[in-house]
Amino acid sequence: MHGSSKASWTAVLLCLFGILIGGVALIPNPNWVVFTIGAVVALAAGPVGLVMSAAGMGVERAEGHGQKAQGVDEHRSTLDG
């Protein structure tokens, strides 16, 4: 399945956890140290997911994905307009 891997789930859960920490830190009086910790955890989710994917815990790309030029519609008629 597309995107269902240990790397993607770990990145998503880390991001959600960081957002939760940061959000709770703002209630009722802002605690900027805890908010910063939550922001760092949320921002670290991307690199952690990439490292895990590079370590083989991601999903393999579909065959031919990224091989074709983007933005060109070969099926569009030249008479459209």
Q: How far apart are CA 41 and CA 81, in angstroms?
A: 50
Per-residue pLDDT tens over the stretch 10-36: 999 999 999 999 999 999 999 999 999
- The pLDDT-based confidence of 59 (bands split at 50, 70, 90) is confident
pLDDT of residue 44: 96
Per-residue pLDDT tens over the stretch 31-54: 999 999 999 999 999 999 999 988
Give the closest residue to 34 by CA, choosing from 53, 55, 20: 20
Give pTM, 2 decimals.
Answer: 0.69
Handedness of CA 46, 49, 50, 51 (dihedral sign): positive
Token pair, residue 3, equals 């995107």
